């Protein structure tokens, strides 16, 4: 049978684009369909704009630091419109690069929505059907808004970049990395931030000691964090609400909850499980993400879809339909852009280079761009303790730059070590630039370095990271 393409990719995010380009380099005829903007979640509405907002928000503390170090500087208000315009220009530039890379690789770009019709056919929103020997689905995921009355008044991480102006106050609902990152970002930009999380501690799944320090640091910087708390109901604020007829309770850090100044007809009234009734300019839901598999024709084509909407694949990213593969967030394996890219490259090795390659999802370094920042690789102390006897090497201290400036911020350096093999099973860092540090520590952990390998490494002084190689005695064993 003759096909229109050797490979047709559905989705123009980082994973899909990389797979398309690398496959085309083998001589394959490749087409790629994207219904929105090239670059996907990471480039357009995720990692890149979020990190630029992290940078912007960090300057709020630098003015005080600069004065402490002898500089005569005066801070002014943050100009969202100026930042937003430059942000959009940068995203346009990056999208253009993605398109040029695809075009230069010989990939045919189709600006349309695509869905699977059968194992070798894709239907485009233009009304045209195209055929392909192989189909790769890389449609990513999307934020989910909970089902509750008034939820339609809220926004998600998708819309936060599109606001015409910064709100004076915002309620962020959720305790994962997206919720916690944006709590820090918006707080740093001068927004009055309240965060509700129904669990006992934010950043579930990360090391308990590390996430506890992150939460403590967020509160110290002004985030009104309420744990064990959720929304009971929410609705558009009435004139009575705006006049101040509401109940409030102190935030957990002891500061009183206050009603922002507002004009009639604006705002969202929220009643919480902790008894608070308050009006916010915005409510942002960061309560989970779902794979983009709706109305894709997958099950009709024989592709298995899991209970969370994810495409079920094997270790080679192949679905139960031999000609159809899936990579990235749509498979709900590890939702990280570099992982999607690795999966895309492994797919090409397997299908177009005759070299079956499974993706290694073990010991993946990652960073959470909260304030303070968290970097992690390997097992948490809690996970390791369940598997084998361990020793924990840990130190928390006030770093030189913060101490001199009079800030109370503390950092954490932690190694989780196997008693039997002395292998470093996990490394966890809470500090400025923790993401940069964990990338390098991740190499050692991935190579199977032992605690003694760390000890043999000469410290770089004076740095925060030197503590990773100078901790000689365990603080506890389990």
Strand residues in 183-298 grouped as ranges (E): 192-197, 224-227, 231-236, 268-272, 277-280, 282-285, 289-291
Q: Is 288 annotated as a binding residue?
A: yes
Q: Is 179 annotated as a binding residue?
A: yes
Asked if 273 and 160 touch (Cβ cutoff 8 Å), the reply is no
Provide the token pair at 391: 């020793």
Catalytic residue among 361, 402, 433, 461: 461
DSSP summary character for residue 226: E
Contacts of 331 (CB under 8 A, 6+ apart): 291, 310, 311, 312, 313, 317, 343
Q: Is 6 annotated as a binding residue?
A: no
Q: Is 446 annotated as a binding residue?
A: no
Angle separating helix axes 80-104 and 14-24, nearest 10 degrees: 20
Q: Is 106 annotated as a binding residue?
A: no
Strands 121-124 and 114-118 turn out to be antiparallel
302 CB neighbour count, 10 Å cutoff = 15
Instruction: Give yes or no: 433 in active site.
Output: no
Q: Is 31 annotated as a binding residue?
A: no
Asked if 129 and 110 touch (Cβ cutoff 8 Å), the reply is no
Provide the token pair at 404: 């001199």
Q: Is 174 annotated as a binding residue?
A: yes
Q: Is 181 annotated as a binding residue?
A: yes
Q: Is 103 annotated as a binding residue?
A: no
DSSP summary character for residue 75: -
> Residues within the annotated binding site for NAD(+)?
174-181, 288
Residues with catalytic roles: 461
> Which residues belong to the annotated binding site for FAD?
51, 329
């Amino acid at each position: 049978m003759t096909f229109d393409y050797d490979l047709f990719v559905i989705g123009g995010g980082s994973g899909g684009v990389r797979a398309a380009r690398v496959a085309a380099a083998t001589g394959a005829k490749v087409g790629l369909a994207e219904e929105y903007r090239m670059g996907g979640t990471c480039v357009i509405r995720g990692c890149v704009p979020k990190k630029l907002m992290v940078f912007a928000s960090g300057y709020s503390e630098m003015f005080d630091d600069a004065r402490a170090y002898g500089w005569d500087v005066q801070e002014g208000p943050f100009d969202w419109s100026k930042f937003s315009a430059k942000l959009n220009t940068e995203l346009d530039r990056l999208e253009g690069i993605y398109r040029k890379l695809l075009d230069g690789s010989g990939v045919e770009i189709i600006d349309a929505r695509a869905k699977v019709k059968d194992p070798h056919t894709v239907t485009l929103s233009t009304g045209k059907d195209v055929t392909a020997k192989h189909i790769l689905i890389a449609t990513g995921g999307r934020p989910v808004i909970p089902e509750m009355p008034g939820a339609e008044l809220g926004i998600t991480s998708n819309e936060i970049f599109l606001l015409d102006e910064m709100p004076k106050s915002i309620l962020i609902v959720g305790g994962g990395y997206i919720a916690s990152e944006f709590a820090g970002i918006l707080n740093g930009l001068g927004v009055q931030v309240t965060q509700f999380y129904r669990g006992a501690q934010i950043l579930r799944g990360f090391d308990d000691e590390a996430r506890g320090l992150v939460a403590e640091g967020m509160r110290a910087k002004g985030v009104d964090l309420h744990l064990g708390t959720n929304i009971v109901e929410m609705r558009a604020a009435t004139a009575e609400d705006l006049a101040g007829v509401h109940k409030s309770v102190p935030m957990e850090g002891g500061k009183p909850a206050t009603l922002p100044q507002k004009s009639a007809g604006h705002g969202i009234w929220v009643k919480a499980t902790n008894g608070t009734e308050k009006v916010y300019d915005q409510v942002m839901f960061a309560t989970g993400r779902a794979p983009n598999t709706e109305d894709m024709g997958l099950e009709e084509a024989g592709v298995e879809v899991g209970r969370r909407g994810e495409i079920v694949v094997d270790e080679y990213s192949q679905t139960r339909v031999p000609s159809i593969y899936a990579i990235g967030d749509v498979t709900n394996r590890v939702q990280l852009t570099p992982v999607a890219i690795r999966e895309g490259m492994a797919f090409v090795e397997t299908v177009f280079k005759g070299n079956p390659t499974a993706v290694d999802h073990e010991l993946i370094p990652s960073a959470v761009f909260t304030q303070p920042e968290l970097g992690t690789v390997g097992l948490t102390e809690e996970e390791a303790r369940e598997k084998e006897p361990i020793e924990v090497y840990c130190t928390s201290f006030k770093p030189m730059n913060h101490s001199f400036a009079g800030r109370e911020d503390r950092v954490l350096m932690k190694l989780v070590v196997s008693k039997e093999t002395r292998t470093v099973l996990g490394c966890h860092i809470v500090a400025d630039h923790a993401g940069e540090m964990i990338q390098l520590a991740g190499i050692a952990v991935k190579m199977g370095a032992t605690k003694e390998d760390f000890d043999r490494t000469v410290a770089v002084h004076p740095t925060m990271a030197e503590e990773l190689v100078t901790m000689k005695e365990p603080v506890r064993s389990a």
